[in-house]
Amino acid sequence: MKRHYLALLSLALMLSACQTPAPPEPSPPLRWYSTCGAPVCGNPNQTPTPNTCGDKQEGQVCQTTGATCDLGNDCQQQLICAESDPRIQPGGCPISRAEFKQEIHYLSTTERDQLAHELTQLPLASWQYKHEPQGPRRLGFIIEDKPPQEALRPDGTQVDLYGYMSLSVAALQTQAERIAALEARLAQLEKNCAASK
């Protein structure tokens, strides 16, 4: 019995020594993904970039992590070689789905009206950049004129175009409500005038 036990033990040791470790899981292939690009496509003040991607297309396999090329479109998008889509990673494109956000608060009418008022009081300016002395004149606002905080990035040194556009939507919503109220009032006055004749 003891001999059989030792034989089985020796066989088990030999088999375990012959086993090769499982190969590592293969990494996902690198592919070309498009970047977010500019918040607003077709900006006439944005200098167009030439297409350096050639025949590369989003979804095709690529070789070098982090390699990029310009698509040359009016959204200022690039292709980047990566394992996963950079647009859905933290720090990627502005994300609007609720599942990626916390402490969601819908603005009250009063809050929205206040933001719309601040936006409509913001002076607009035109200028040329110092590094473009012969370049086109630009149109927008100056940070020193103290625009609403929602129109600035957290460090206060650059414009947050996504926030600025949302402020514009607040102003449009406020104006639309006022126009609807005026139209309803006008319709009632016309009705009263017609009834009094």
Going through the chain in order, the beta strands assigned E by DSSP cover 31-34, 68-70, 78-82, 125-127, 138-140
Q: Answer yes or no: is pLDDT of 24 > 70.
A: no
**Residue in the block written with tokens 């396999």:** 61
Mean pLDDT score of the chain, rounded to an integer?
A: 82
Check whether 91 has a pLDDT greater than 70. no
| pLDDT for res 45 | 62
Task: Report the run of H or E that residue 193 belongs to, with start and end.
Answer: helix 161-196
Q: How many CB atoms lie within 10 A of CB 151?
A: 22
Tell me, yes or no, if the pTM score tops 0.75: no
pLDDT of residue 14: 54
Radius of gyration of the chain (CA): 31
Judged by DSSP in three states, 146 sits in coil
3-state helix, strand, coil in the chain (%, to 5): 40, 10, 50
Phi, psi of 23 (to 5 degrees): -65, 150
